[in-house]
Amino acid sequence: MLPNATGVHSMNEMSRNLHVVGADLPRTDAVPKTTGSATYTVDVSFPGMLHAKVLRSPHAHARVVSIDASAARGMPGVHAVLTRDDLDGLSPVYGYFIKDQPIVAIDKVRYIGDVVAAVAAQSEQQAVAALETINVEYELLPAVATVEQAMEDAAPELFEDEPMGIVPDYGMGASGYRRIGRNNCYRFSYKTGDASVAFASCDHVFEDRFVFSRDQHFHLEPFVSVARYEGDTIEVWTSCQNPFPLRKELARVFQHPENLIRVQVPFIGAGYGAKNNCKTEPIAILLAKLSRRPVRFCMTTEENFLTQSQHAAILDVKSGVMADGTFVARSGLILLDSGAYSDASPLVAEKAGYRLPGPYKWEHLDIDCDCILTNTTPAGPYRGFGGTQASWASESQVDIIARALGRDPMDLRLQNLKDLGETYVPGESGLDSDMRVGLNLVADRIGYKKRKRVYGCGMGLSVGFKDAGGVNKPAQARIRVTTNGGIYLQCGTIEIGQGAQTALSQIVAETLNAPLDRVSYPALNTDYTPFDQGTNASSAVVVMAQAVQNAAIEAKNKVLSFAADQLECSVDDIELKDWTIRKGNEAHPLPVMIMRYYGGTGYEFTGEGFCKAEMDHSAPLETKCVSWEFGWGAAEVEVDTETGLIVLRQLVVSGDAGRAINPKICRGQDEGSAVMALTGALFPCMVYDGANLMNGNGLDYRLPLASDLNDGFVSILQEQGHGPGPYGAKSVGEGCMLPVASAIANAVEDAIGVRIRELPLTPERVLAAIDAAT
């Protein structure tokens, strides 16, 4: 079996008999979500609640000379107006590593849609009417709409002065920098070996530029929150996937004690990364403070487009290989279009840069990833988190290399992929899936090796890759079991659609030997729920699940210890099943034992659990990555060379759940992420005319529909058993985002001999590539 030092777990850990884990039980949120009774933040309402709307900048870049909001204050139904004049006593600028985004514009506006003022009124219509009376005088500044423009020597700067911020500590080979170039808000670098020297000894060096498209999350529930500010207590109900970091940020912004800020999270109508950190909350809270009324701030779909997007990217990748196909060295420069504020860009840069090598046996790496500010919608976390951009470039170039060497792209991958358990880079953890197994699986399923070679038809493969579990992420969980065996699982993982509530509850039910319907999952309230860093980074099943399992084990041990005392026997002589203690042939119901000892009013057993990867300065990101997430993809396309249209005949994707806690939920993650990736691969994505977004609404923005797929779309769930989560589980939330675009582009080259390096793969681009090749 594999050594533990690599962090790779062996198969025998999953061989026990399980009764709840691994079963396709209905999701625990099934009834509320299929009957309309599920409460989302949009459904939260209070007596006297006001509605907020915001005035947004019509200019991409301008100095705010003056704001006259006096007329708005007198408009019907208006209870509060918020401009930069109402920020006294606040630290009104937020962000992740870099605090640069103001609640409302202070000195400048930096993109079309930047928030300038806000109004709370009795209805949204009244708030909109009041906003129309606000006079803002702008002094227009030249704008930079693209990364190239923003990097020019004489380009106007979004920030003339350096905003407050930090560069985190990194370990071996990694480093971070701020403001090292025009409009450059962050650089992440990773180096190992000596790539520049190694290139000289390579037989072939390949240099390619790839361009990645900019999707918008299009979560169907908009950004929304409801705030109350009564006495000294700030209370906010919000559609937010990281409520504890949000609480911390709100405490800083409002200069307010954390214990007097209560964040509550009902069901979330999806986020895909967008619902991290401040969105609607500071404005709702401040308006609640000013109006002394509950305030609801719910954005429109159009406003979602003006609030958060994915990172467009330009990726220059240089790879040195030997004549026999051995991968030796790779360098790269990635430029991320960060939009107008730093947001999560430094973290995305970290991951895009770190993941650019892909899971291959390079010995020398030298990668920089820069975040470039532009006068466009701020880019932030988006499912795949830099891995999507990196996989697009990396997996496209692997095919380019294969074809240049006269090798089959699949064979070249099999030759160079790292092995199960092999460390990713020096100081890192071992890769916890066998990538060859996954690649063979999707290739066999699509019929890759037996494909007929007909011009216009082709197949392509890809191995999408990212780390999973976040960096240095602590998670805590608590289990409470009532006198009668009702179980409460309290933890900070948000049910955002991914099925974590069900999966984590299954782990608890398994551990406590109880039916799944005994486990409740109270909605998150930062006053009661144990701390968690956030529902992101595919961390629930590899980090939080360990904390949850630990908590359940502790609770179970307390129960067994109590029962053994009561029965005057050893804990080894008894078992817990359905809240009854079994001792040989005897059955002792626990409620009777508990009330006999603790009194008729009963008792609750509790268990606490914790999980965090150890700090490790030899690991490039300061902790070893908890796990690694893969998405294997195979695409078959038919390309119409007259119209440039790509018809996707088959799309086979596969993720490795390690051990699937709930196989249907895992399948939904694989298929949902693959279809989400189709947007960036084949559809127009966000179209800008200069700094003006042209299609930022539900009608003009083209999303994949059921009819865009056919029965050739298949997912295969693997359970290789090597994950760090309970029972060998691994994450599946993001993996199948990663291989789709490159698998399709690789299939297009297989079909018509033309390489397209720019996403999306629109008919125009296909035709242009055909023209360029002839």
Partner 1 sequence: MMSADLFNVTFRLNGSETSFHVRPEEMLIDVLRERAGLTGTKLSCDLGACGACTVLVDGKPSASCVTFAWQVVDRDIRTIEGLSSGDGDLDPVQAAFIEHSSFQCGYCTPGMIMLARALLDENPNPNRDEVRQWMSANICRCTGYEMIIEAVQDAAERNRSSLYE
Taking the complex as a whole, how short is the minimal distance between the CB of residue 241 and partner 1, in angstroms? 11
Distance of CA 317 to the CA centre of its chain: 24
Q: How far apart are CA 434 and CA 2, in angstroms?
A: 12
Our CB check for partner 1 shows the closer of 257 and 698 to be 698
Q: How far apart are CA 159 and CA 110, in angstroms?
A: 9
Our CB check for partner 1 shows the closer of 141 and 648 to be 648
Taking the complex as a whole, how short is the minimal distance between the CB of residue 157 and partner 1, in angstroms? 36
User: The tokens 């995305």 sit on which residue?
Assistant: 348
Residue 157, token pair as written in the block: 């700067």
Our CB check for partner 1 shows the closer of 98 and 685 to be 685
Distance of CA 619 to the CA centre of its chain: 22
Taking the complex as a whole, how short is the minimal distance between the CB of residue 216 and partner 1, in angstroms? 10
Measured at the CA of 188, the angle between CA 476 and CA 311, to 5 degrees, comes to: 80
Q: How far apart are CA 611 and CA 491, in angstroms?
A: 12
Our CB check for partner 1 shows the closer of 302 and 573 to be 302
Could you tell me where the DSSP H helices lie in 164-233? 195-200
Our CB check for partner 1 shows the closer of 34 and 259 to be 34
Q: How far apart are CA 201 and CA 266, in angstroms?
A: 58
Taking the complex as a whole, how short is the minimal distance between the CB of residue 734 and partner 1, in angstroms? 13
Which whole-number Å values give the CA distances from 568 to 118, 527, 584, in the listed order?
67, 39, 14
Our CB check for partner 1 shows the closer of 275 and 330 to be 275
Our CB check for partner 1 shows the closer of 267 and 327 to be 267
Cβ neighbors of 410 (< 8 A, separation 6 or more) are: 439, 443, 448, 449, 461
User: The tokens 């804990």 sit on which residue?
Assistant: 571
Our CB check for partner 1 shows the closer of 217 and 755 to be 217
Residue 64, token pair as written in the block: 């705010």
Our CB check for partner 1 shows the closer of 196 and 697 to be 697
Taking the complex as a whole, how short is the minimal distance between the CB of residue 572 and partner 1, in angstroms? 39
Please check whether residue 52 is in contact with residue 283, taking contact to mean a CB–CB distance below 8 angstroms: yes
Measured at the CA of 561, the angle between CA 557 and CA 563, to 5 degrees, comes to: 115
Our CB check for partner 1 shows the closer of 523 and 567 to be 523
Taking the complex as a whole, how short is the minimal distance between the CB of residue 624 and partner 1, in angstroms? 30
Taking the complex as a whole, how short is the minimal distance between the CB of residue 593 and partner 1, in angstroms? 36
Our CB check for partner 1 shows the closer of 34 and 70 to be 34
In terms of DSSP bridges, do strands 295-298 and 224-230 run parallel, antiparallel, or are they unpaired?
antiparallel
Backbone phi, psi, residue 723, to 5°? -75, 160
Cβ neighbors of 88 (< 8 A, separation 6 or more) are: none
Taking the complex as a whole, how short is the minimal distance between the CB of residue 303 and partner 1, in angstroms? 11
Residue 455: count other Cβ atoms within 10 Å of its Cβ.
Answer: 10
Our CB check for partner 1 shows the closer of 618 and 710 to be 710
Which whole-number Å values give the CA distances from 746 to 331, 666, 734, in the listed order?
21, 26, 21
Our CB check for partner 1 shows the closer of 256 and 667 to be 667
Our CB check for partner 1 shows the closer of 300 and 423 to be 300
Query: Would you mind telling me the total number of residues written for the chain in this entry?
Result: 774
Measured at the CA of 386, the angle between CA 383 and CA 387, to 5 degrees, comes to: 80
Taking the complex as a whole, how short is the minimal distance between the CB of residue 461 and partner 1, in angstroms? 20
Which whole-number Å values give the CA distances from 381 to 143, 217, 350, 386, 535, in the listed order?
24, 9, 12, 8, 12
Taking the complex as a whole, how short is the minimal distance between the CB of residue 107 and partner 1, in angstroms? 33
Peptide linkage before 76 cis (omega within 30 of 0): no
Cβ neighbors of 496 (< 8 A, separation 6 or more) are: 241, 268, 270, 271, 275, 535
How would you class 323 by CB atoms within 10 Å of its CB: exposed for 0-12, middle for 13-18, buried for 19 or more? exposed
Nearest Cα to Cα of residue 23 among 509, 601, 623: 509
Residues that bind partner 1 (CB under 8 A): 24, 26-27, 29-40, 42-43, 217-222, 267-270, 272, 300-301, 496-499, 662, 664-665, 667-668, 671-676, 697-699, 703, 705-711, 713, 715
Taking the complex as a whole, how short is the minimal distance between the CB of residue 181 and partner 1, in angstroms? 36
Taking the complex as a whole, how short is the minimal distance between the CB of residue 221 and partner 1, in angstroms? 5
What is the DSSP code string of 370-401?
EEEE-SSPPB---TTTTHHHHHHHHHHHHHHH
What is the DSSP code string of 74-125?
TSTTEEEEE-GGG-TT---EE-SSEE-EESS-SSEE-STT-EEEEEEESSHH
Q: How far apart are CA 152 and CA 38, in angstroms?
A: 50
Taking the complex as a whole, how short is the minimal distance between the CB of residue 663 and partner 1, in angstroms? 9
Taking the complex as a whole, how short is the minimal distance between the CB of residue 597 and partner 1, in angstroms? 39
Taking the complex as a whole, how short is the minimal distance between the CB of residue 665 and partner 1, in angstroms? 6
Residue 206, token pair as written in the block: 């390949």
Taking the complex as a whole, how short is the minimal distance between the CB of residue 493 and partner 1, in angstroms? 14
Nearest Cα to Cα of residue 715 among 666, 657, 662, 667: 667
Provide the terminal-to-terminal Cα distance of the chain, rounded to the nearest Å. 54
Residue 446: count other Cβ atoms within 10 Å of its Cβ.
Answer: 25
Taking the complex as a whole, how short is the minimal distance between the CB of residue 299 and partner 1, in angstroms? 11
Taking the complex as a whole, how short is the minimal distance between the CB of residue 458 and partner 1, in angstroms? 23
